[in-house]
Amino acid sequence: MRLRTAETYSQQSDEQLLRLVAQGEIAAYELFYDRHAQSAYSVLVRIVRDRAIADELLQETFWQVWRNAERYRGSGAAAAWLLRIARNRALDELRRQKARPQRAQGELAQGVFEQQVATAAPDLHRHLDQQQVQQALATLPADQRTCLELGYFDGLTQREIAEKLNLPTGTVKSRMRLALEKLERLLRGQGYP
């Protein structure tokens, strides 16, 4: 099996990358992220005016791209499609803030990964022994497994992992999210809740 890296797709257009993302090509997704994360983040910051919230919304935006890449039909630039998703996420957040005025403007919202780990960790320890978790982890792609192990077992933050592995923070977040999703599917497939 040939391991594909973002470099494999470096000559692909954004539209071609999205078609590959729709087929589950992680390296294409990472390259698309690296190409467009900064511009999407800029849009988000301009709208919500809070960097912490914009960072969370950026990850939600790219998570939506991963889940819905097949919905991109090639009408218009892929970057414009992405920026529409980001803009809609930001406007939804502003509506939520207006509906819940008690929320502090500068409050750091928990990221999806942190919420998943916080809720999944007790269940994993209750239902699985360490050997079963290690066997399941061994089936994950090495780059995803490394990020997940550094975050979950070594207690590093996503930013610390990014620095240690010399990767963009968004790539680390994406890899961790994908790893958790695969791990959950694998363990559920083995009959664990």
What would the pLDDT profile of 80-131 be if each residue is shown by its tens digit?
899 999 999 998 988 888 865 443 333 333 333 344 444 444 444 444 455 6
Helix (H, G, I), strand (E, B) or coil at 184: helix
Domain ranges in the chain with CATH number 1.10.1740.10: 6-99
Q: How many CB atoms within 10 Å of residue 83? A: 18
pLDDT digits (tens, 9 = 90+) for 44-87: 988 888 888 999 999 999 999 999 999 887 767 888 899 999 99
Tokens of 27: 């390296």
Cβ neighbours of residue 13 closer than 8 Å, sequence gap 6 or more: 78
**DSSP line for 101-122:** TTS-TT--PPPHHHHHHHHHHH
The rounded distance, in Å, linking the Cα atoms of 65 and 74 is 14
Here the tokens at position 136 are 């399941």
Euclidean distance between CA atoms 111 and 20, whole angstroms: 26
Overall residue count recorded for the chain in this entry: 193
Task: Output the pLDDT for position 36.
Answer: 92
pLDDT for res 75 = 67
The domain 112-189 is classified under which CATH number: 1.10.150.120, 3.40.50.11540, 3.40.190.10, 1.10.10.10?
Answer: 1.10.10.10
What residue ranges of the chain are covered by domains with CATH 1.10.10.10?
Answer: 112-189
Contacts of 105 (CB under 8 A, 6+ apart): 50, 97
pLDDT at 185 over 70: yes
Candidates 1.10.1740.10, 2.60.120.10, 3.40.720.10, 1.10.10.10; CATH matching 6-99: 1.10.1740.10
Distance separating alpha carbons of residues 156 and 189, to the nearest angstrom: 29
**CA 9 vs CA 2, 35, 67, 108, 125: distances in Å:** 13, 12, 20, 35, 39
d(CA 41, CA 44): 5
Mean pLDDT confidence for 135-156: 80
> Is the Cβ–Cβ distance between 111 and 173 less than 8 Å?
yes
Q: What is the pLDDT of residue 9?
A: 78
